[in-house]
Amino acid sequence: MPRFTIHLVAGARPNYVKIAALCRAFREYRSAHPKSPVAVRVINTGQHYDYLMSKTFFRELGIPKPAEDLGVGSGTHADQTARIMIAYEAVVQRDKPDLVIVVGDVNSTMACTLVAAKLLIPVAHVEAGLRSRDRAMPEEINRLVTDVLADHLYTTSADANVNLRNEGVPASKIQLVGNVMVDTLLTNLARARTSGIHRRLALKEPYAVLTLHRPSNVDHDEDFLQLLKALERIQRRIHVVFPVHPRTAARLKEGPLGARIRALSNLQMIDPLGYRDFICLLDRARLVLTDSGGIQEETTVLGVPCLTLRENTERPVTIDAGTNVLAGKKAARIIKLAEAILDAPARRRARRPTRWDGRAAERIVTSLAKRYGF
Ligand code: UD1
């Protein structure tokens, strides 16, 4: 049987967490089917390139060394997307993959989907169908373009299936498989809990965790000022740990708002953390404040109260079935919600939305194996 080559594309930090589950599921599939012609090649676009944003995830999560490292780095959206496309097109023409798998909603996801679709190579999109209905978010554009072109749409929740059906995607292309980010979380949780990060940060409970990286929060002074006002109050009640994304770090380096956040005595700014350290930090947090998509999902599974610092979410299941609350971007509301959480007794409310059971990647591999006969 001729080789069946799959490209597994990743480029940014959350992508690595997702492909880790797929790499593992393919590894298990191959050991259960030693004669299978399937060969998986990891393609790293290099959208994220700092050690703490990329390589550490390969190492910690056992992701094989990429077959191709495109090294595209940062740029404007058009510039970064175009450079990924040019570099990836050359790889596809040389390698002639039979299938391309993309995950999530970053620029690399969309760029590689466009390349594959134009070269008539089937695309599977993992985490399809999520919609914030906010086209000011670059990720929403990436999701729309990727889903319209992909041949196989693997979803994390029933609302995503509804979104896709409403956009005219035939039911035969859509499958609710669960959440590969949760697969990675469940695989690593026991080890993560012994990471020792609390000792290394000299961190005492209770504490809150903060992450911020969305352009809509960090690039606009007015929005950032509201968050800052909320943080000024919250850190008086509870110690706040803030692993700072490079985009945010660049933004906070200069100017009065950066100086103001650095001056907060009970807010601890630290470098981005590796996977297990971060999960360990989340797991014991009293409260999480974030604008990340993945952290809304991880806190749901861990049962940790999460305030999402956005006006919308493409992950409503984390609100309906999980611990997430959409807090918006106004200081008064964020403070009120945070205080309500801190006033209430600390308790876990871990929930698992349908099929968030650690087997999503396995379902994807099984579905593709059946479809392509590998
Ligand atoms: C990207 C994704 C976002 C995802 C996030 C997770 C897009 C449009 N956005 O946002 O969906 O939630 O990753 O982290 O794809 N930088 C570094 N070192 C790095 C990476 C980035 O210094 O390793 C800095 C650069 O100044 C860069 C900026 O961060 O310009 C933004 O990076 P970029 O990849 O464009 O987007 P993110 O904000 O990281």
pLDDT at 350 over 90: no
Question: pLDDT digit string (tens) for 177-209?
Answer: 999 999 999 999 999 999 999 999 999 999 999
Neighbours of 30 (CB within 10 A): 16
Q: Which atom of ligand 1 is nearest to the CA of 14?
A: 6
d(CA 299, CA 350): 8
Question: pLDDT digit string (tens) for 135-147?
Answer: 999 999 999 999 9
pLDDT at 78 over 90: yes
Cα angle value 147/151/152 (rounded, 5°): 85
d(CA 367, CA 162): 20
- For the chain, first and last CA: distance in Å? 9
Helices 180-192 and 294-302: crossing angle in degrees, nearest 10, is 60
DSSP classification of residue 265: T
Q: What is the pLDDT of residue 2?
A: 84
Q: Please give the average per-residue pLDDT across 71-92, as a whole number.
A: 98
Find the helix or strand (DSSP H, E) in which 225 lies: helix 221-237
Q: What is the pLDDT of residue 349?
A: 78
d(CA 231, CA 235): 6
pLDDT at 92 over 80: yes
Residue 62's pLDDT band (boundaries 50, 70, 90)? very high
Cα angle value 217/218/220 (rounded, 5°): 80
Among 11-15, 62-66, 289-293, 350-354, the range scoring the smallest mean pLDDT is 350-354
Which token pair is 89? 């097109």
Q: Which of 145, 213, 218 to mutate to test the pocket of ligand 1 (most atoms within 8 A of CB)?
A: 213
Q: What is the pLDDT of residue 31?
A: 97
Q: Are the CB atoms for 32 and 194 separated by under 8 Å?
A: no
Q: Are the CB atoms for 101 and 7 separated by under 8 Å?
A: yes
d(CA 149, CA 141): 13
Which token pair is 269? 């700014």
Query: How are beta strands 123-128 and 99-103 bridged, if at all?
Result: parallel
Residue 345's pLDDT band (boundaries 50, 70, 90)? very high
Residue 323's pLDDT band (boundaries 50, 70, 90)? very high
CA separation, residue 11 to residues 18, 143, 329 (Å): 11, 15, 28
pLDDT at 308 over 80: yes
Query: How are beta strands 38-44 and 324-326 bridged, if at all?
Result: unpaired
CA separation, residue 258 to residues 69, 72, 214, 215, 250 (Å): 34, 28, 16, 15, 10
Active-site residue 213, yes or no? Answer: yes
CA 33 / ligand 1 centre spacing (Å): 38
Q: What is the pLDDT of residue 255?
A: 87
Find the helix or strand (DSSP H, E) in which 184 lies: helix 180-192
Residue 348's pLDDT band (boundaries 50, 70, 90)? confident
Q: What is the pLDDT of residue 254?
A: 86
d(CA 183, CA 158): 18
d(CA 295, CA 278): 10
Q: Which of 49, 143, 247 to mutate to test the pocket of ligand 1 (most atoms within 8 A of CB)?
A: 247
Which token pair is 45? 């676009």
CA 17 / ligand 1 centre spacing (Å): 15
DSSP string, 322-342: SSEEE--S-HHHHHHHHHHHH
CA 368 / ligand 1 centre spacing (Å): 30
Q: Is the CB of 246 under 6 A from ligand 1?
A: yes
Of 33, 213, 239, 245, catalytic: 213
CA 245 / ligand 1 centre spacing (Å): 8
Question: pLDDT digit string (tens) for 239-287?
Answer: 999 999 999 999 999 889 999 999 999 999 999 999 999 999 999 999 9
